[in-house]
Structure 1
């Protein structure tokens, strides 16, 4: 059983993948993939059939969302490579002990299968897609806080992890089980696999930690949010290019937005006209998860930030009915808006600015937390701060939760507060 990494990526990115006809197995511009899969039939005769069924699974399951495609592609691809290159067995023939072996492999993969940075799968050479030799199915990562702390204390411009830093988070392990279970449900429906044993493997897995702590969502404290808002606003007063930063953080926190809901996507380009007025009330139309639209109530206080941002762009007051101006003016004029990655970068710049200010003012512990934040913390921060003052059904509707219980579970932690209060006065 070889532990060397002598495999290659199997599936292209979202758009090229769906540009192929459903019945077309291999792309003509990527002959290396076809050659590799065919070579696998020497040890696993069913390799091409495995590949066909997984490709069909991705095609039918993930068309609606690029993020969903990326998640299932990564796990399906990794599973196939392990099955062929290491386990030498078709995925159709996997039994409980085989899946257990795969979970052991995912938790502790060979170092040769681990990369130290996320890489593109393919590069173009003379019109053909060639494998990126640096690509690996697993990637060792330093946390955002670890990386930024290292950069602050070192003279180098970048800090890279070592393959020994690889560790599979519990959340990621749960996603492995979930993604595999969905895959095997499809294979069973297509009469390609005998059954789905993923649930049984998950139940008995020694690697999965049962968490009953009811951890609260990740959010900024009132002090941290005040520093983020005030430092970004002060920077925007000095430098008008920061007006976009200010509008982004105010929108995500006040309107409970995900980064994808601010970004331009193939099916949606947010516009200023998505803000609209009904009598004395303002609303914002959001295109969210599951291809669902919802309207979010707009607080009066937020309108000042909306006006301010529009004025910085040379626009009048508040949006007109059906206004077609991009919600976030793009960096490149030909783009219809900002991509999620760009929004995340701008948000992180605001977090970093606030972190530096907190260090200057002596709040070093709070500043370190800001180094580990992500854009999603702003959505959680807004909802957590508002849960005490708003009816739960109203908050749930603005968040876009399908069930009231989801909002209650994520943001209402009365029992934790009571327990913390009763335990605070314990003596050593």
Structure 2
């Protein structure tokens, strides 16, 4: 982490008594760097925690406070600051150290506030366990309870079919799009739809992760918390896998422990790509698809599509699996949710089925 990410605060000796600390930190900035080092193997977690720590210590620096001087009242003030930030700090995010530091591009929602509180409580708990601090103010602030809203960020069946047709028939004819790029785009969307992978999981997936057991194909996945699991390979994904591999000059089926990335570079399929690169490709496809819809006179739908991101595909496959009658527990395991309650956000499927069942209620029977 760069030195200017977190401002140095007053030394720990200004507010810490015995017992001696278990970390060699001379100030808050170095203590936070030690904490962040615990997450270096999880890039997404590291970035989220680094962003929150930078934002919080930037605020504390403006208040003239060190971490050990933060009270419960201060913690509440910080959360209120995130919910209603002054206009001067809202804008395109810029790191501290610049003349126009912008830690927020908009006020945080209740869900984001809850996430911020959880991260900071985790940070303070580490500092207390390390004897660097003696209390955790964020563990004492009121918990922010966020209602679980039904998931709305998914592609409806007709729209998903329209997108598939676009990927196979229209995208290869778009200006500046090569056949190889179009094939890779189609493979990315097919893979995400049939597996429910996160893009970070896709970026780390190898062809050797496709495994056959007792005549059934499975896909090994290294998920959150470095947990290894297996996802069933659908018949359609299996066909798409063979077709994509042949287009890349590979054999139809992967070999055991094959290191070829599931998604590689267009010009060099053996070279892996980052999650950020995959996300960019997906956003570009949605942008092109939106422009295509607008050219067909579907401006409202086009505006909806261009707001979509990679995670919509994970929500889409979950919604479609439930709609097609895949048991709730199977869907939960396919998505590798730590708690079945997480899968409950897809209750819109049951809601739609309930609406269909009630449409004819009260009508007089036809003769």
TM bucket normalised to smaller: 0.7 to 0.9
Q: What do residues 64-103 of structure 1 show as CA deviations (whole Å, max 9, x unaligned)?
A: 312111111121222222222x211221122122112222
| Alignment partner, residue 252 of structure 2 | 317
Alignment of 1:53 onto 2:18: no
Deviation at 1:168, TM superposition (A): 2.0
- For 1:395, what is the secondary structure of its paired residue? helix
Deviation at 1:308, TM superposition (A): 2.1
Alignment of 1:240 onto 2:216: no
- For 2:217, what is the secondary structure of its paired residue? strand
Deviation at 1:214, TM superposition (A): 2.6
CA contact (8 A) 1:57 1:183 kept: yes
Q: For residues 308 and 335 of structure 1, what CA distance do their matches in structure 2 show?
A: 17
TM-score, structure 1 length as denominator?
Answer: 0.71
Alignment of 1:103 onto 2:79: yes
Deviation at 1:176, TM superposition (A): 1.4
| Alignment partner, residue 57 of structure 2 | 80
334 and 251 in structure 1: CA distance in 2 versus 1, 3 angstrom threshold? closer
| Alignment partner, residue 255 of structure 1 | 195
Q: What do residues 137-164 of structure 1 show as CA deviations (whole Å, max 9, x unaligned)?
A: 5142xxxxxxxxxxxxxxxxxxxxxxxx
Q: For residues 256 and 199 of structure 1, what CA distance do their matches in structure 2 show?
A: 34
Alignment of 1:70 onto 2:47: yes
Q: Which of the numbers 63, 67, 70 marks the counterpart of 1:94?
A: 70
CA contact (8 A) 1:93 1:193 kept: no
Alignment of 1:213-232 (within 5 A): 214-232=149-167
Q: For residues 425 and 45 of structure 1, what CA distance do their matches in structure 2 show?
A: 72
Alignment of 1:402 onto 2:341: no
Alignment of 1:341 onto 2:276: yes
Deviation at 1:231, TM superposition (A): 0.1
CA contact (8 A) 1:188 1:196 kept: yes
Q: Which of the numbers 195, 199, 202 marks the counterpart of 2:135?
A: 195
- For 1:201, what is the secondary structure of its paired residue? coil
Q: For residues 167 and 99 of structure 2, what CA distance do their matches in structure 1 show?
A: 38
Deviation at 1:405, TM superposition (A): 3.4
Q: For residues 33 and 317 of structure 1, what CA distance do their matches in structure 2 show?
A: 48
CA contact (8 A) 1:224 1:366 kept: no
Structure 1 vs Structure 2 CA RMSD: 3.2
TM-score, structure 2 length as denominator?
Answer: 0.82
CA contact (8 A) 1:57 1:186 kept: yes
Q: What do residues 267-315 of structure 1 show as CA deviations (whole Å, max 9, x unaligned)?
A: xxx3222223234322211121111121111111122321221122122
